[in-house]
Each structure stands twice: as structure tokens, then as C-alpha cells.
Amino acid sequence: MFKDKIVIVTGSGSGIGKSIAKLFSKKGATVCATDLDLEKAKKTSEECTNRSYFYKLDVTNKIEIKETFTEISKTIGNYEILISNAGVSTMNYIEELTEEEWDFNINVNAKGVFLTNQEAISHFKRNKINGRIVNTASLAAKIGAPLLAHYSASKFAVVGFTQAAARETAKFGIRVNAVCPGFVKTSMQEREIAWEAKLRSLSSKQVIEDYISQTPLGRLEDPEDVAKVVLFLSGSDSDFMTGQAINVTGGIYTT
């Protein structure tokens, strides 16, 4: 399905992004793995089974995004798919939340989606490409999460932006969707478990048990669970879907 397709995946050095990159590669795509950590992006590229490339990319830097995406277009070919996945999190009670934490989450999670989508949309329109964009939102984009007010705000922004972008670009044959993962087993989640355990005076085991108890399917989510839905939204089987924020939560949230 993705043979001869060129896909850019941001935040692909670990976690969900890495699984997305590897699954695209397995399905025949040429993957451009990007991450703020160049060594992690390189490792992901090395684990891809098809032709792949890696780049250092700060998704909050408009100039760096333009330069990287332009280099990809000139040296590899016109990319047709953007997976805007790069994201960060911190945890705190609202009254303890710092401006630095707020700005960090908003800048990477919301501004990063805006800037990468903006560049990709310009590229698609300029080259008359029926491009596909999938943005990584979160369960926290559907229901505000305690200790994650700033993160929830940034991910709600991703969903709102996705809906607006989809309606604005549909007439150009561009589709823009989002995925909303739940409790995914990643290095980010490991950090969050430790933070939440401390903030709630619980053990890490109790936090994990709480996550699982909230999940009707009865387990933590694997990054591959998200990657499969991202591929669906990037392919022809979802041609009549745009502006959607698809829950991949094991049943935690169903609206």
C-alpha cells in the first residue's frame, strides 16, 4: 500500500513515533525519521526494513522545519504523508504549575503540530499532491486529565487545529486527521508513572493498576496499537475521512 510513498515522522526516536516509522517501513514506505535527538532518529532509521533516512528536527523551530522538509523534497522526493507525532509532557497540580511547564507543553505539542502541518500543507498545495497528515493528540484531548491541565490544553489544541485544517484543505485533496492514544507503554509513560506516583502518594504499581482498571480492554496500550491506526488514516481505506480525532484508548473514552 505504501510502496514508493515518502513519509515524514516527527518524534520518531522512541515510543509511538518509532513504532509508526517501523510499521510504515515494513509496509514499503520510504521513511524520514526525525527527532530532536539525532542519535535516536538514526537508531530508528537503522531499525527500518526499507529505505530510510534520519534528521535532527526541533518542531518548534519554523526555519529548521522548512530547511529539513525542503531537503527531503530535493534529495529524496516529494513526500506525501506527514505524521506530526513529536510531543512532551510534564505533571503538576494547577496551583504548582509553572509558566515554563505550560510553555514547554504548548510549544512542542501545539505549536509543533501547527508549524509542521503548515509547511506540509504548503508543499502539498504547491506540488498538487493529495497529501495525508496525521497528528498525534491524546485521550487528554477528549477529557481533561488531572495533573495534566497544561498537557490537556495542548492536546485539545491539536484536535481543534486538525478539524480546522481538514475543512480548509479538503478542496485541495488533502486529508488531515488525528489519533488520540490512551495509556501507552512508552518511556514518556514511565516518567509519568513516576511523577504521578509521587504527586498522589502512590506506588508506581498502583498507578499502573489504576491505568489498567480504567481501560475496558484490560491492558496497557502498545505503541503498535496506535501505529496501525495511523497507517489506516494515511492510506486509501480512509479516503473519505478527514477532520477526525480517532480514539485508540482500549475503550476508556468512546465519544
User: Catalytic residue at 151?
Assistant: yes
User: Of residues 53, 55, 151, 211, which has the active-site annotation?
Assistant: 151
| H, E, C per residue of the chain | CCCCCEEEECCCCCHHHHHHHHHHHHCCCEEEEEECCHHHHHHHHHHCCCCEEEEECCCCCHHHHHHHHHHHHHHCCCCCEEEECCCCCCCCCHHHCCHHHHHHHHHHHHHHHHHHHHHHHHHHHHCCCCCEEEEECCHHHCCCCCCCHHHHHHHHHHHHHHHHHHHHHHHHCCEEEEEEECCECCHHHHHHHHHHHHHHCCCHHHHHHHHHHHCCCCCCECHHHHHHHHHHHHCHHHCCCCCCEEEECCCCCCC
**Cβ atoms within 10 Å of 75's Cβ, excluding its own:** 8
Q: Which residues carry out catalysis?
A: 151
